[in-house]
Amino acid sequence: MTEQLLRAADIVDRLEPQLKRDIDQLRAQHGKGPHLRILYFTDHSPSILFKNAQEKVARRLGITPGTQGCDWGHVTREEVKRVITQWNRDPAVHGIFVHQPLPPQLDAQEISTLIDPQKDVEGIHPQNSARRFFAKARIGSCTALAVMELIDEALRRSGGTLEGKEAVVVGHSEIVGRPVGMLLLDRLATTTVCHVATKALQQHVERADVLVVAVGQPELIKGAWIKPGAVVIDVGINVVGGKVVGDVEFEAARARAAFLTPVPGGVGPVTVMMVMKNTVEAFKLQQKG
């Protein structure tokens, strides 16, 4: 089977002009455009790389980015709380994004509740998570939205639908696995969420028409487990010998999957685009008051 790579560039090239047009219209209508604030970690290279990518894309689109660097080893909850509170109160700030993973002295659940839900462009505030439960999210989880964009790209190319398909998500984190599971259920896929305690992971993976993997373990999913013709979305980012690899054994999976995301160049850049899309949604929500 010859697989088709689901490259981020294809999605970004399609979404970027639409989003840029939307932002230009908002600027003309309101006399101002969206402003995104990013809290990142200065001595943590993945955070710096991600921040640079976010700034670059924001500028390209006409979103004004602002950043605050914190020291990974020494930042305190009080410092983060002070920064977020200031951004919450500032009417010129429309979107707030706090980089994850957080250093061990910070509590991810607490930080997610500090951000004004209307400015939460990562879609992690409990109010936004609760709305997702009822399929009514105004601001969705950016990584989960990116995964769905990639699945939809595969469906567009193949002419298929998600309804009734066997979907398997490996990973049940609050920022990726769980929201992806919810969005797949909303689309009437028969959805299984696997995690660290799942027995017989291989058997679950083997029956997946759509497989989403978000674990953070290089090549945990063997290519031989992939159902022939499956859509495979690899969210994992791992550095092995200085090279970035995903959670799926890429070369072996290529021989079986119908559609497969590369790492890098798959989910990551689409997630950045979804942060920008969420920033535009947040801006619109705030203009309504």
> Distance between terminal CA atoms of the chain?
52
- Residues 48, 156: Cα–Cα separation, whole Å: 34
- Residues 40, 235: Cα–Cα separation, whole Å: 20
196 binds ligand NAD per the rule CB under 6 A: yes
Q: Which residues contact 185 (CB under 8 A, 6 or more apart)?
A: 191
279 binds ligand NAD per the rule CB under 6 A: no
SS3 readout for 103-165: CCCCCHHHHHHHCCCCCECCCCCHHHHHHHHCCCCCCCCHHHHHHHHHHHHHHHHHCCCCCCC
Tokens of 255: 């021989």
214 binds ligand NAD per the rule CB under 6 A: yes
- Residue count, binding to ligand NAD (CB under 6 A): 25
Smallest gap from Cβ 251 to ligand NAD, in A, equals 19
Smallest gap from Cβ 30 to ligand NAD, in A, equals 30
Smallest gap from Cβ 171 to ligand NAD, in A, equals 4
175 binds ligand NAD per the rule CB under 6 A: yes
Cβ closer to ligand NAD: 70 or 235? 235
Residue 120: how many other CB atoms lie within 10 Å: 26
- Residues 167, 210: Cα–Cα separation, whole Å: 5
Q: Kindly indicate which of the ranges 12-20, 22-30, 53-61, 263-271 contains the residues binding ligand NAD, using the contact rule CB under 6 A.
A: 263-271
Which position among 181, 187, 268, 275 is part of the footprint of ligand NAD (CB under 6 A)? 268
Burial letters 2-30, b for 16+ CB under 10 A, else e: ebeebbbeebbeebeeebeebbeebeeee
Contact letters for ligand NAD, residues 224-243 (x by CB under 6 A)? -----------xxxx-----
Smallest gap from Cβ 21 to ligand NAD, in A, equals 25
Q: Kindly indicate which of the ranges 12-20, 157-165, 208-216, 251-259 contains the residues binding ligand NAD, using the contact rule CB under 6 A.
A: 208-216
Which position among 4, 64, 198, 286 is part of the footprint of ligand NAD (CB under 6 A)? 198
Which position among 170, 180, 210, 232 is part of the footprint of ligand NAD (CB under 6 A)? 170
218 binds ligand NAD per the rule CB under 6 A: no
98 binds ligand NAD per the rule CB under 6 A: no
- Residues 277, 93: Cα–Cα separation, whole Å: 15
Which phi and psi (to 5°) does residue 204 adopt? -65, -45
Smallest gap from Cβ 217 to ligand NAD, in A, equals 6
181 binds ligand NAD per the rule CB under 6 A: no
Which position among 129, 143, 261, 278 is part of the footprint of ligand NAD (CB under 6 A)? 143
Q: How many residues are present in the chain?
A: 289
215 binds ligand NAD per the rule CB under 6 A: yes
**Residues binding ligand NAD (CB under 6 A):** 143, 170-173, 175-177, 194-196, 198, 201, 214-217, 220, 235-238, 267-268, 271
